[in-house]
Amino acid sequence: MEHDTDKIHVMPTDGKWEVEDQSGDPLTREDDKGDAIEAAKHIAQEEGITTVILHDGDGVTEEVPVPPKQSQPKTNQ
């Protein structure tokens, strides 16, 4: 999945919570706000994006920092 974005947005839409990229393209939709934030954080980590923007009505409610994805330890074979 490649998206030209530096932030992922979470916003209420039609009684659900939509996760969108910077250009407004939908990435996923969840019933629960917390599930949408977690999905957005996972997408952000996969894409190397450091911030999820939460919109709760008009404007930005909160900027949620996303920790970098932890690399898997290398195993000797």
Confidence at residue 2, expressed as pLDDT on a 0 to 100 scale: 47
For residues 71 and 23, give the distance between their C-alpha atoms in angstroms, rounded to a whole number: 28
For the chain, the domains span: 1-51
Confidence at residue 60, expressed as pLDDT on a 0 to 100 scale: 75
Q: What are the pLDDT digits (tens) for 28-52? A: 999 999 999 999 999 999 999 999 9
pTM: 0.80
CA 13 to the chain's CA centroid: 15
Query: Residues 39, 44, 17, CA angle at the centre, nearest 5°?
Result: 35
Confidence at residue 73, expressed as pLDDT on a 0 to 100 scale: 63
For residues 15 and 61, give the distance between their C-alpha atoms in angstroms, rounded to a whole number: 18
Q: What are the pLDDT digits (tens) for 63-73? A: 999 988 776 66
